[in-house]
Amino acid sequence: MFDLLPHLLNGLTLGLLFALIALGFMLIVGLMEQINLAHGSLFALGAYVAMQLTGPRPPLPTELAKPWLALPLGWRYAATLIIAPVIVSLVGMLIELCMRRTYGKDPLYGLLLTFGAAMVIEEMIRLVWGTRDYVLQVPSAINGGFLFGDLIWSTYRFYAAGIAAGVIGLVWLLIEKTSFGATVKAGAHDSEIVRALGINLSRLRLVVFVFGTMLAAIAGIIVAPIWGIRPHMGVDAVIPAFLVIVLGGVGSFWGAVVAGLLVGLCVGLAGAYASEWSLLSMYILLVAVVTFRARGLWGKKSVLEA
Amino acid sequence: MASVIGGTGSFFGPWRQNHAWAQGAKPIKLGLTCDASGQYGNSGQDDFRGIKMAIDEINAKGGVLGRQVTFITADTETTPATGSRVAERFITREDCTILIGALHSGVANAITQVASKYGVIYMNTNSSAPSEAGENCSRVKFVWDGNGTNFSKASVKNAVDSIGKNWMLLTNDYVWGHTTSAATRTQVESAGGKILDNLLVPQNTRDFTAYLLKIQQAKPDVVATAVGGDDIKALREQVAQLKLDGKPAWINNQQDWPDVWGAPDSLFGVFGTTWYHKLPLPGVAEFVKKWQAANKDGPIPVPGNVSYNGYMSTRELLRAIERAGSTNNVKIIKELENLKVSATDRMQHFDAYMDPMTHQMQQTIYLARRNAKPADNTDLFEIISWTEPKSAADDAAAGKCKLTPYEQVPTVDS
């Protein structure tokens, strides 16, 4: 049992990271009924922008770059956690503006548009930063390892899990406890009535998409020191994100969180006890769940179950 | 009657394809099967830089046999199915008579199958699964990188004697990982060591914590990894974060330079390579300068082992065509099978030669570790040993490799 505990703990922290990656994806799918295939590329863009801002050559005029670089890494990192998602959100805004022509039409149009956007962003990343890998510098306070239960643990891993839990909590508060969240949910449920009530639905969709984009960028910044930064890192993110929301049930906030944790536990335990199955285990879990519950764990009843 | 049937058979028979291209002074067209995306996308492009440099050099001298050398390249996406499709297209629609390039052994093997079918020569530049020159060898394929067995032979016995007998293996779950780990296991056990466990790492694994916890719990003396591409980069980040470099000791079968360049701070353990840009040997500095001039503003500032293998394989291929005085595939194959390159010409410590039984280049195998006192920001390796080709040779490969007789190889001419 003592041998198992570290792996359970590892699975839970990994699960929180999966949930964080899926969160923005879930919001856009759940509230706008649009599958944003550019989520992974926006995730990667967040990591690249953060790397550029915290690195030795920030894209700033000389008079601003000097005082910025004079700041301790911890301050720069903290500021980057806010600035980088804001910068990436401008790209999200552009994608949403392009997507407007697809609303109310076959969902395939939106799907193709975001797929195209994903490819454009990835190629732009290659053009700007090349194909080489980068490392995101993090402050020494959250780097390194510590001893617990006779094992060395990654400090950063626990920091990342803590940030993921914090962001998940904040998003829940925003969606469930504010009038903005209530409007967004109402818009997803019945857009015509919301429009009739005088709410600008276009603006609402834009805000949701931009918010989802910022969450993707935050996830990219948090995960980058673990995975490393490379042009196709978005693909590594979008697949588990998609899996988590299907497993949790499309549109369900807690479904996505619980599914993220389940996937993390599954991958973590398989990695320890049946290592060759570690990545495959998440797909097996998905198949097992949707076979018996096509709507996912907390999803609404779907036509598949009629 | 029998002769009539026989004659008809050889004319219409599907079992022998004679793919001859029109003769003349048209350019010799090479198909570069270099990954541009996927797990080895970065390395594939570094491979391409070396190959292109060799082509440009020969063209600047007037080409081969008075003919210019041209090329076409396409992304094989580090996927065997795409590699196979690209190879098929290059040969049947683009009239490429020679293929060059691969990092992933699954991709290399897929390309080999296509090349063998048409008799097209294939230079496997950087894929280093022992099976590439063993059970998956081919008369048309030549393997240029050191393989898992070569690196194991250069490193394992010494590590068992000096570090400890209890080993764990961390193995990428595909052909290169499996065959390389099998070679390490053989070396460890024959040196009196013991394998505690072999943890299989699926390709595209990004989180190694479960594996690292398992390793910490098992407390081995040495962990031998056969993990490549993006996976080893993620593993290195996580080992560095936990400061696990040291105990246990790590032996990483091979570190390709593009994998190292992006994250030099996480370089750990002892690892193998076939070349280093700061080897104190004649010609190295000049080669580095030439490469830098050819690759200005590239993502990597100096050539590493991947670019080196790409360059050397292409250079030797073009020289072999020149020596053969022909673009006939069998004549070129015979030239390559008899290839001997002096240490000076190879910029390595020992003379190298092509093994005619396996078609693998037998060359100096270097072991390196992170350089604690770098001369500049590219000086990441400290070379700690160099093993001569005979001592690192994969003795079992010849028994596993069955080369098709020359007369059964379809004829190809450029």
Confidence band of A200 (pLDDT split at 50, 70, 90): confident
Q: Is the pLDDT of residue A248 over 80?
A: yes
Q: For B288-299, write each residue's pLDDT tens digit.
A: 999 999 999 888
Radius of gyration of chain A, Cα coordinates, nearest whole angstrom: 20
CB atoms within 10 A of CB A207: 16
Token pair 């000076």: residue: B344
Query: B229: pLDDT confidence band, cut at 50, 70 and 90?
Result: confident
- Which pLDDT value is given to residue A301? 65
Pairing of strands B352-354, B361-362: antiparallel
Question: What is the DSSP track for A238-284?
Answer: HHHHHHHHHHH-TT-HHHHHHHHHHHHHHHHHHHHHSGGGHHHHHHH
- Burial annotation A237-256 (CB, 10 A radius, 16+ → b, else e): bbbbbbbbbbbbbbbbbebb
Q: How far is Cα of residue B179 from the mean position of the Cα atoms in its chain? A: 14
The reported pTM is 0.84
Mean pLDDT for chain A overall: 90
The pLDDT, as a whole number, for residue B320 is 98
Touching A: B residues 9-38, CB under 8 Å: 36-38
> Could you tell me which residue, B251 or B414, shows the higher pLDDT?
B251
Task: Record the tokens describing residue B323, joined without a space.
Answer: 């020596």
Radius of gyration of chain B (CA): 21
Interface test with A, best of B48, B199, B213 (most A CBs within 10 A): B213
pLDDT of amino acid B251: 93
Q: How far apart are CA A202 and CA A182, in angstroms?
A: 16
Nearest in space to A184 (alpha carbons), one of A168, A206, A158: A206
Determine whether the interchain pair B244/A131 forms a contact, defined as Cβ–Cβ distance below 8 Å. no
Average pLDDT over residues A288-302: 84
Per-residue confidence band for A121, with pLDDT thresholds at 50, 70 and 90: very high
The one-letter code for the residue type at B286 is E
pLDDT of residue B104 exceeding 80:
yes
Taking the alpha carbons at both ends of chain B, their separation in whole angstroms is 36
Answer yes or no: are the C-beta atoms of A47 and A223 closer than 8 Å: yes
Name the nearest CA neighbour of A246 among A207, A282, A208, A280: A282
Q: What percent of chain B has pLDDT over 70?
A: 94
Mean pLDDT of B265-293: 95
Residue A1 confidence (pLDDT):
55
Task: pLDDT band for B14, please (50, 70, 90 cuts).
Answer: very low
- Mean pLDDT over A234-248 rounds to 92
The pLDDT value given to residue B10: 39
Host H or E run for residue A223: helix A201-227
- Kindly determine whether residue A156 and residue B206, on different chains, have CB atoms separated by under 8 Å: no
pLDDT in tens, B316-331: 999 999 999 999 999 9
**What local confidence, expressed as pLDDT, does residue A302 receive?**
57
Residues A25-38 have a mean pLDDT of: 86
pLDDT at A186 over 90: no
How far apart, in Å, are the Cα atoms of A70 and each of A53, A75, A142, B43?
13, 10, 20, 36
Q: Which residue has the higher pLDDT, A227 or B309?
A: B309
Cβ A29 vs Cβ A36: under 8 Å:
yes
CB contacts < 8 A, A to B, total 122
Does the predicted interface ipTM exceed a cut of 0.90? no
Q: Residue A173: which residues within 8 A CB-CB, separation 6 or more?
A: none
CA A263 to chain centre: 15
User: Which residue in A7, A144, A278 is closest to B243 by CB distance?
Assistant: A144
pLDDT at residue B27, as a whole number? 94
Q: What is the DSSP letter of A304?
A: G
| pLDDT tens, position by position, B29-60 | 999 999 998 889 889 999 999 999 999 999 99
Lateral strand order in the sheet of B361-362 = B340-341, B352-354, B361-362
Q: Is the pLDDT of residue A39 over 90?
A: yes
Contact A279 B45 (CB under 8 A): no
Measured at the alpha carbon of residue B51, what is the angle toward residues B317 and B68, in degrees to the nearest 5?
Answer: 65
Q: What is the DSSP letter of B67?
A: B
Task: Specify the range with the lowest mean pLDDT, choosing from A45-59, B6-20, B132-146.
Answer: B6-20
DSSP 3-state assignment of B352?
A: strand
Name the percent of chain A lying above pLDDT 90. 64
CA distance B129 to B294: 30
